[in-house]
Amino acid sequence: MRYNAWQIFKEAFTGQTGWKPVWRDPEPKKEYDIVLIGGGGHGLSTAYYLAKNHGLTNIAVLEKGYIGSGNIGRNTTIVRANYFLPGNSEFYSHSLKLWEGLESDLNYNVMHSQRGLINLFHSDGQRDAFVRRGNAMINQGDDAVLLDRDGVRQHLPYIDFDNVRFPVYGGLLHPRGGTARHDAVAWGYARGADQRGVDLIQNCEVTGIDISNGKVTGVQTSRGPIRAKKVAMVAAGRSGQVAAMAGMRLPIESHVLQAFVTEGLKPVIDHVVSFGMGHFYISQSDKGGLVFGGDLDFYSSYAQRGNLPMKEHVMEAAMTLMPMIGKAKVLRSWGGIMDMSPDGSPIIDRTHVDGLFVNCGWNYGGFKAVPASGWAYAHLIATGKPHDTAARYRLDRFTTGRGIMDEEGTGSQHNLH
Ligand SMILES: Cc1cc2nc3c(=O)[nH]c(=O)nc-3n(C[C@H](O)[C@H](O)[C@H](O)COP(=O)(O)OP(=O)(O)OC[C@H]3O[C@@H](n4cnc5c(N)ncnc54)[C@H](O)[C@@H]3O)c2cc1C
């Protein structure tokens, strides 16, 4: 079923009885050409582009929970292409272009809203760093506008410009940055993959990876063994555990990252705003809730909930930047498991096992990467060659030291990203 205005009109007069389930619920087959481990954003987009770009459809996405239960449904929905370093710049630039055509491509409303993202700076040194970043973005073909204090004031009149410790000096505006509804992205890709014949198998946990003579032959699951010619790991925060099933030790630490949502309010924050002197960022959802977050909880964990010290830290940053927020009531908070790589950049690569692929290391920025990651991973799985935009996301950069992309400049400590 294609979604369009006529369909909505028709259903309104026929009791809303014509809508079909958005994807099937098939039993797993005994064998597939390709098995993807993980039905998050990256697994679903990979399945979609394998089918759409490469005509491969004998594919299963195995998801241990339900579609949307992982980070794809837990993030703070920010979509941007404001990376600095070669390797990341072209990848995220490609991703943003895919976002811009995604709704018509998927025939699904993912509520992509290019409302503009403003990174604030609070010192001369920070201004210099953002000028460099903005120039890198423009060189890459993306957009960046340097705002002085008055320029920021026109966009964000409600923030505290004269905080004694962190006065606002200006900001870097990325007009094409914004948000998208996170779970709709999962649903849209799931629907698109299903329509092309991909089997989405929910409640199916992979418990083992079968390897024979250095070649992958299939997986063991909670719903029985499944043979496969190729197996692609794409399990985000659980990547370390899944790769261990193939005898691999990934350079990944799993950390908790929390998100917070207030009660619904009238429109007050039009952009995505990022505080430069604390790890705090905020936007307002279309339902009216202020959606915000901060830094990692700073301990490794597989829990999908966070702890109070980071909540306090995030609330303090919020109050410092925009004291008005103290009047809003926080309704909900939750956590997701971040797959933190040593340099803060991802991995999309083959492994030492023939036919086994790895996609992970998305840190806390993998939502905006969903389209380009799926595109590049599908290319790698289908052709055996890395896609141009993701050629630097090699696994061996952490053993050779060549090609490290340390965006944050924090060195080799995961939890400082
Ligand atoms: C609070 C928070 C805020 C964030 N904010 C942003 C943001 O604003 N912008 C941004 O770009 N990124 C953001 N991120 C990061 C982004 O959400 C992730 O990097 C990205 O979603 C990870 O990829 P995914 O969608 O494939 O992960 P997931 O949705 O977690 O998918 C992985 C799937 O693998 C499944 N799985 C694991 N083990 C197995 C197994 N053994 N068998 C079968 N299935 C398995 C899991 O159940 C899960 O569904 C945020 C994350 C969090 C938690």
The CA distance from 225 to 348, in Å, is 26
Phi, psi of 131 (to 5 degrees): -65, -45
The mean pLDDT of 43-48, rounded to a whole number, is 98
219 close to 35: Cβ distance less than 8 angstroms: yes
What is the position in ligand 1's atom list of the atom closest to the CA of 44? 26
Please give the pLDDT value at position 397: 94
Residue 400 identity (one-letter amino acid): T
- Show the domains of the chain with their CATH numbers: 11-77+182-251+343-416 (3.50.50.60), 111-179+253-340 (3.30.9.10)
Q: Which of 75, 255, 358, 377 to mutate to test the pocket of ligand 1 (most atoms within 8 A of CB)?
A: 75
Burial class (CB in 10 A: 0-12, 13-18, 19+), 220: middle
Query: Does 411 have pLDDT greater than 90?
Result: no
> In this structure, which amino acid lies at residue 230?
K
CA distance linking residue 197 with residue 218, whole number of Å: 20
Nearest of 52, 337, 69 to residue 198 by alpha carbon: 52
pTM over 0.95: yes
Rounded distance between C-alpha atoms, residue 242 and residue 351, angstroms: 13
Ligand 1 mean position, distance from CA 71 (Å): 3
pLDDT band at 13 (very low <50, low <70, confident <90, very high): very high
Q: What is the pLDDT of residues 313-329, one digit of tens each?
A: 999 999 999 999 999 99
202 three-state secondary structure: coil
Given a cut of 80, whether residue 408 has pLDDT beyond it is no
Bridge-based pairing of strands 178-179 and 330-340 is unpaired
Gap between the Cα atoms of 357 and 383, Å rounded: 12
Q: How far is the CA of 107 from the centre of ligand 1 (A)?
A: 23
Side chain identity at 292, as an amino acid letter? F
Q: How far is CA 235 from the centre of its chain?
A: 12
Nearest CA to ligand 1 atom 31: 40
**Cα–Cα distance for residue pair 140/353, rounded to 1 Å:** 35
Q: 235 pLDDT exceeds 90?
A: yes
On whether the CB atoms of residues 280 and 294 are closer than 8 A, the answer is yes
pLDDT band at 1, cuts 50/70/90? Answer: confident
Residue 385 CA to ligand 1 centre (angstroms): 25
pLDDT, residue 278, reads 83
Q: What angle do CA 37, 41, 47 make, to 5 degrees?
A: 60
Ligand 1 closest atom vs CA 366: 19
CA distance 206 to 209: 8
User: pLDDT digit string (tens) for 363-374?
Assistant: 989 999 999 999
**Protein residue with least CA distance to atom 9, ligand 1:** 78
| Whole-number pLDDT of residue 291 | 98
- Which residue's alpha carbon is at the smallest distance from atom 50 of ligand 1? 75
Atom 35 in ligand 1: which residue has the minimum CA distance?
38
Q: Give the integer Cα–Cα distance in Å for 334 and 408.
A: 25
Q: What is the mean pLDDT of the chain?
A: 96
| pLDDT in the model for residue 195 | 97
For position 247, what pLDDT does the model report?
A: 97
Q: What pLDDT, on a 0 to 100 scale, did the predictor assign at position 409? A: 72
Taking each helix axis from N to C terminus, what angle separates 88-100 and 370-383, rounded to the nearest 10 degrees?
A: 110
Note whether 364 and 289 are within 8 A (CB): no
For residues 373 and 367, what is the distance between their CA atoms, to the nearest angstrom? 10
| Rounded distance between C-alpha atoms, residue 261 and residue 49, angstroms | 32
pLDDT band at 412; cut points 50, 70, 90? low
> Among 66, 71, 204, 339, which is best to mutate for testing ligand 1, by the most ligand atoms less than 8 A from CB?
71
Residue 171's φ and ψ, nearest 5 degrees, are: -160, 160
pLDDT digits (tens, 9 = 90+) for 129-156: 999 999 999 999 999 999 999 999 999 9
**Which residues line the pocket of ligand 1, CB cutoff 6 A?**
37-43, 62-65, 69-72, 74-78, 205-206, 234-238, 242, 257-259, 293, 336, 362, 364-368
pLDDT tops 90 at residue 406: no
pLDDT attached to residue 354: 98
Q: What is the CA radius of gyration of the chain?
A: 21
pLDDT at position 407 is: 81
Confidence of residue 93 (pLDDT cuts 50, 70, 90): very high
Q: What is the pLDDT of residue 415?
A: 65
Residue 232 confidence (pLDDT): 98
- Give per-residue pLDDT as tens, 249-304: 999 999 999 999 999 999 999 999 999 988 899 999 999 999 999 999 988 999 99
Residue 17 has what pLDDT? Answer: 93
Residue 123 alpha carbon to ligand 1 centre in Å: 34
Residue to mutate (ligand 1; options 117, 274, 364; most atoms within 8 A of CB): 364
* pLDDT tens-place string over residues 60-73: 999 999 999 999 99
Are 89 and 83 in contact, with CB atoms under 8 Å apart? yes
Closest CA to 241 of 286, 301, 181: 301
Q: 400-403: which pairs have CB atoms within 8 A and are 24 or more residues apart? A: 403/87
> Cα(57) to centroid of ligand 1, in Å?
24
Which residues, in sequence order, are CB contacts of 266 under 8 Å at separation 6+?
Answer: 288
Q: What is the pLDDT of residues 149-170, one digit of tens each?
A: 999 999 999 999 999 999 999 9
